[in-house]
Amino acid sequence: MSDRTAPVLRGPASVVETACPLDCPDACSLAVTVQHGKIVKIDGGHANPVTDGYICAKVRKFGERVYGPDRLLYPAVRDGRKGDGKFKRVTWEEALELVATKFEAAKAKHGGESILPYSYGGSNGLLTQDNLDAQLWRRFGTSRLARTVCAAPTGAANMALYGKMSSVTYQDYPEAKLIILWGVNPSASGIHLVPFVKEAQKRGAKLVVVDPRSTQLAHSADIHLPVHIGADVVVALALHRYLFANGYADQAFLAAHTHNVDILRERAEPWTIDEAARVARIDPHALGQVAELYATSSPALIRCGWGLERNRNGGNAAMAILSLPAVGGKFGVRGGGYSMSNSASWNLQRPWIGTDEPQTREINMNHLGRALTEYDNPPVDVLFVYNCNPAATVPDQKRIIKGLERNDLFTVVFEQVMTDTALYADVILPATTFLEGYDVAKAYGPIHLELGRPVIDAVGEARTNADVFGELCTRLGLLKDDEPAGELDLMIAMLEQLPGTIGDDLRRGAPATPEFGGAPIQFVDVFPKTPDRKIEFCPAALDASTPLGLYRYQPDPETDRYPLALISPASERTISSTLGELPRPDAKLSMNAADAEARGLADGDLVRVFNDLGEVHTTLAVTPAVRPGVVSLPKGLWRRSTRNNTCGTALVPDTLSDLGGGACFNDARVQVASLATA
Ligand code: SF4
């Protein structure tokens, strides 16, 4: 039996359809087998054709999180030292009353801004973030969080150039004659893109991969450019220069649809193929081939990923890459243009959040350690963490832990499992997983929304985000009588607000697409959402606020002491840090043979990876999969994943990218040595 509308099933095995709202571009349809009220299997569904009946191994194992030993089952309060992980069970009434009382006390002492809400993409569902939570924070006047740990530089560039125009979706990749995968590895994250790339290759498309690692797709590519960390911007500028210098720039398009192309051309001028190749440490001949291929192919498609943004030049890299289709005249054909996050494709109204509350202090989430240990005007007295695990995932781990250990900080963690952050909580509130509540999953690779629904009862006493934030709003007197106050009310209100037939589609269980359909052609079906629908290559305010100006390169921060660039790419095992609690072998540091030999290291050695910020002890994997000068630890590690209870984020500075205030994970510069000789 397949069912989208029946209540939670408690009888013999049945298959329930729902959708995955986790932080992944694909938002898969799911078919979950439930037997006697328990999940026994999670598989791909067919409601959304992009899912096509298969899903990643991560979510196939999600039942291990739902029923695992780390699952938080009851509200609890701290019963030991911070970080010890000792808690005493309390009732929801006691826990919420304590939280509300602490909120009131903090506001009375240092003002609402002394409360810091802290969240990210543990769920991307429309109900589980930026909803009743946003209403609570705004109406209570807390500090606001700049949610910039990921996608901030690319998002800022896309906004500046195109007003976040919708981009080419997976279904149209097979139309392309050239695909450039730039800073993205769909084999690990957003896996449903891979078959479309392969289909394009089967039809004769050329594939270029720009990545410091030899990923699976890099192996099958016609050209692989293993660009050194932070140098993507100069590679893209060299392509611009090639287009301008060799008569390939589409002057008619530029005149009709853009502003300030002269500034871009001028700033690309120093970046000859040879000079860019020298800085990026790649073969100039290969870069020249890519330039000619891009200039002469149509439809030509660039997939702009997130790997390229995680450094000091990330915003400028995204600006230069996203400008290429405009200069090269690649828009206006199916399969041509650029492809990136489509999360802004929906014009969603959430009137219940409100917009007229006073602006309060904004804290960049990458500065959590500073906020907890240094900010004093006002200090952070209360930290409320949900949908994320900053003790493991945010730069400068040591300083964050120091902040979390403060005895005068009251920390609330609203979570599904006992994360590294939850160990430091004063109050724990158990949260439902997406399999225990309603949500609307939003795809940002393909463009669709899909209804997620509970397939089992809440485990233990876990509650949904909407119910808990609604309850806190009510306790603090922040809601009007007619406003939604819980999950079902909110769901109904949201479905009613969605434009066109979207709400009806979702109620029927069908994936919904925007009015322009699920596969737009750029500059035919969708246009820049800028005031005059033109591309602004160099917005003056942005140019002035960027350290060296737009389309500029800040050199590598490496020093003699720390010559290796540490990267932390997405892996096949976690979605950011979600599922990082599941048992698995220690994380390995990947290193090229040349770098290992230079340090007298061999595969399987225990090593220390270190810099002035911290030190990680782990096992070495010697592999050609990373280029010389670069070492790699998987993204999303928990403290338990390494030998010394420390994540790669302990080695990451909390410096910010040139645009958007993004995290500079890949600007960690480290040295590696044998633990045996330490
Ligand atoms: S994480 Fe991504 S690939 Fe995996 S089930 Fe969810 S949407 Fe699909």
- Tell me which H or E stretch contains 38: strand 38-44
Does the N-terminal peptide bond of residue 299 adopt cis geometry, omega within 30 degrees of 0? yes
Q: How many helices (H) and strands (E) does the chain have?
A: 21, 27
Residue 242 near residue 291 (C-beta atoms within 8 A): yes
6 pLDDT more than 60: no
DSSP-assigned states of every residue in 477-496: T---TTS--SHHHHHHHHHH
- N- to C-terminal Cα distance for the chain? 60
- Per-residue pLDDT tens for 325-379? 999 999 999 999 999 999 888 877 777 677 778 889 999 999 999 999 999 999 9
* Residue 675 phi, psi (nearest 5): -70, -30
User: How far, rounded to the nearest angstrom, does the alpha carbon of residue 44 sit from its chain's CA centroid?
Assistant: 22
Confidence of residue 3 (pLDDT cuts 50, 70, 90): very low
* pLDDT at 206 > cutoff 90: yes
Phi, psi of 91, rounded to the nearest 5 degrees = -85, 165
Q: What percent of the chain has pLDDT over 90?
A: 83
CA–CA separation, 607 and 623 (whole Å): 15
Instruction: Name which residue leads in pLDDT, 158 or 480.
Output: 158
Distance CA 594, CA 629 (A): 9
Coarse DSSP helix, strand, coil percentages of the chain, rounded to the nearest 5 percent: 30, 20, 50
Ligand 1 site, residue 20, Cβ cutoff 6 A: yes
Atom of ligand 1 nearest to the CA of 58: 4
Q: Whose CA is nearest to atom 6 of ligand 1?
A: 20
Residue 467 · residue 484 · CB < 8 Å: no
d(CA 280, ligand 1 centre) in Å: 33
User: Cα–Cα distance between 65 and 227 in angstroms, integer?
Assistant: 37
What average pLDDT score do residues 646-674 get?
96
Nearest Cα neighbor of 488 from 504, 456, 472, 464 is 464
Task: Indicate the Cα dihedral angle 575, 663, 169, 580, nearest 10°.
Answer: 0
Q: What is the mean pLDDT of the chain?
A: 93
> What pLDDT shows up at residue 7?
46
Tell me which amino acid residue 273 is: I
Q: The pTM is what? A: 0.95
Phi then psi dihedrals of residue 626, to 5 deg: -120, 150
Q: Give the pLDDT confidence score for residue 335 in this predicted structure.
A: 98
Rounded Cα distance, 615 and 69, in Å: 29
Phi-psi region of 660 (alpha: psi -120 to 50; beta: other; left: phi over 0): left
Structure tokens given for 124: 């991307």
Question: Cα–Cα distance between 353 and 34 in angstroms, integer?
Answer: 35
Closest CA to 214 of 670, 605, 623: 623
Within 13 A of 487's CA, how many CA atoms are on the CB side?
18
pLDDT score recorded for residue 666:
95
pLDDT digits (tens, 9 = 90+) for 52-90: 999 999 999 999 999 999 999 999 999 999 999 999 999
> Measured from the CA of 26, which atom of ligand 1 is nearest?
7
Kindly list the distances between the CA atom of residue 502 and the CA atoms of 133, 344, 511, 531, in Å, as whole numbers in the listed order: 24, 16, 9, 26
pLDDT given at position 363:
97
Compute the Cα dihedral for 196, 199, 203, 209 and give only its sign: positive
Give the distance (Å) from ligand 1 centre to CA of residue 56.
Answer: 6
- At 156-193, the pLDDT tens digits run 999 999 999 999 999 999 999 999 999 999 999 899 99
User: What pLDDT is stored for residue 183 in this prediction?
Assistant: 96
In degrees rounded to 5, what are phi and psi of residue 392?
-105, -30
25 Cα: distance to centroid of ligand 1 (angstroms): 8
Half-sphere exposure (CA, 13 Å, Cβ side) for 567? Answer: 27
Q: What average pLDDT does range 504-532 have in this prediction?
A: 91
Atom of ligand 1 nearest to the CA of 191: 3
Specify the pLDDT at position 481.
Answer: 83
Instruction: Report the pLDDT value the prediction gives residue 494, as an integer from 0 to 100.
Output: 84
Nearest CA owner, ligand 1 atom 8: 28
Q: Whose CA is nearest to atom 4 of ligand 1?
A: 56
Given this model, what pLDDT does residue 677 score? 63
Please give the distance, rounded to the nearest whole angstrom, from the Cα atom of residue 291 to the centre of ligand 1: 34
- Evaluate: CB of 622 within 6 angstroms of ligand 1: no
Q: Does position 569 have pLDDT exceeding 80, yes or no?
A: yes
Confidence (pLDDT) at 2: 36
Expressed in angstroms and rounded, the spacing between residue 195 Cα and the centre of ligand 1 is: 15
Specify the DSSP element, H or E, that contains 76.
strand 76-78
Q: Minimal CA–CA distance to 158: which of 340, 365, 364?
A: 340
Kindly tell me if the per-residue pLDDT of 419 is higher than 90.
Answer: yes
In angstroms, the Cα distances linking 169 to 26, 55, 161, 217 are: 11, 18, 19, 18
- Dump strand ranges (E) for 183-306: 206-210, 223-225, 258-259, 300-304
How confident is residue 597, by pLDDT bands cut at 50, 70 and 90? very high
Task: Give residue for tokens 């998002």.
Answer: 155
Q: What is the pLDDT of residue 251?
A: 98
CA 6 to chain centroid, in Å, comes to: 33
At 517 the pLDDT is: 86
pLDDT value for 678? 55
Is the Cβ atom of 50 under 6 angstroms away from ligand 1? no
| pLDDT confidence of residue 495 | 85
Count the Cβ atoms, other than its own, within 10 Å of residue 10: 13
Share of the chain above pLDDT 70, in %: 98
Position 676 scores a pLDDT of 82
Pair type for strands 564-567 and 630-632: parallel
Reduce the DSSP state of residue 213 to 3 states and report it.
strand
Q: Which two tokens stand for residue 402?
A: 């120091």
The single-letter code of the amino acid at 364 is N
